[in-house]
Amino acid sequence: MTAVPAGDWPRRRSALPERVSIREVGPRDGLQSEDPVPAADKVRLIDALSRTGLSRIEAVSYVHPKAIPQMADADEVWSAVDRRPGVRYSALAPNRKGAERALDAGFTEIEVVVSASDTHNRHNVRRGTDESLDDIAELITVLHDRGATVEVIVATSFGCPYEGDVPVSRVAGIIDRVVADGADRIAFGDTTGMATPRRVAELLDAVRGGHPDVDLLLHFHNTRGTALANVLTAMDYGVTEFDSSVGGLGGCPYAPGASGNLATEELVHMLDDMGVETGVDLDALLEVAELAERLVGRTLPSGVLRAGPRSRLSG
């Protein structure tokens, strides 16, 4: 064993954040990739999540029902949700019409999306990245005028399934642009699970420091097993906000049963053991993950849901 100098655990612990803020994306990002679920079940899921200690929930998206039929009932869902004080609910809007629907529904935190990869953006919305950035600039004005904050989600930030590696300079350029246009928050999406600790470090090297006042959130997929290694790397860089999805809701584009979104309970479980506070009650969350499995009628990929937390002993 090589004794390379490395910090002892108490010292390493003190370099970690005291607290991490988790945004639960199962009801939106997760369910939009599952077979359709009735509105009442979505409400049940959101309300159950809001009682676990989670402080942020992505509730719905206002997309065209032909594009994503799973989200056609956004208004019905949101109007029935028992909005819990202290929980921040957000909605995704792909365009001006969606943004206006989200505002009319009373959302004050709105997410918009652009792909760092031009090819991926064209596959998604039939427009180039630059055109989408122009749209987003206009959306930010509209949303700010009506008192909402705007998060720009940069999809394929760690790689594109069509183009391969996406240069970090390209992602950094997009950040410069949307921050100049007024974005309040940035999320880096690992859309198809191409992030590794090296990609996370390279991207954060390129953008951190440049925009110290913009909230930064990372959204990892566990498609290739690296999600928690990526979280660990991002925390080393001072990132304290992560997306995750209860039970790992949200299929993988490649194969049924394969892992897509990082499961919230795997994230909470690791952070709990490392002494990083999330505010989430893991036992309560695991009950919601069981509910999520019943609602979608399939086994979800979460290991902590399957095996239980490490503290759960055998008889």
| Candidate list 224, 291, 293, 298; residue touching a copy of itself; CB under 8 A | 224
CB of 22 to a copy of itself, least distance (A): 15
Residues 133, 252, 271, 282: which is the catalytic one? 252
CA-closest candidate to residue 262, choices 275, 249, 274, 276: 249
Q: Return the number of other C-beta atoms located less than 10 Å from residue 79's C-beta.
A: 11
Q: Does 156 bind a copy of itself (CB under 8 A)?
A: no
| Closer residue to a copy of itself, CB minimum distance, 104 or 277 | 277
Q: Kindly indicate which of the ranges 50-58, 59-67, 107-115, 218-226 contains the residues binding a copy of itself, using the contact rule CB under 8 A.
A: 218-226
CB of 167 to a copy of itself, least distance (A): 14
160 in catalytic set: no
Residues from 231 through 250 that contact a copy of itself (CB under 8 A): 231-233, 236-240
Residues from 4 through 43 that contact a copy of itself (CB under 8 A): 4, 6-9, 12-13, 15, 17
C-beta separation of 205 from 172 below 8 A: no
Beta bridge partners of 242: 22, 218
Residues from 250 through 289 that contact a copy of itself (CB under 8 A): 252, 254-255, 257-259, 262-263, 266, 269-270, 273-275
Q: Return the number of other C-beta atoms located less than 10 Å from residue 103's C-beta.
A: 20
User: Helices 39-50 and 282-296 meet at what angle, rounded to 10?
Assistant: 170
Q: Does 174 bind a copy of itself (CB under 8 A)?
A: no
Q: Does 226 bind a copy of itself (CB under 8 A)?
A: yes
Active-site residue numbers? 252
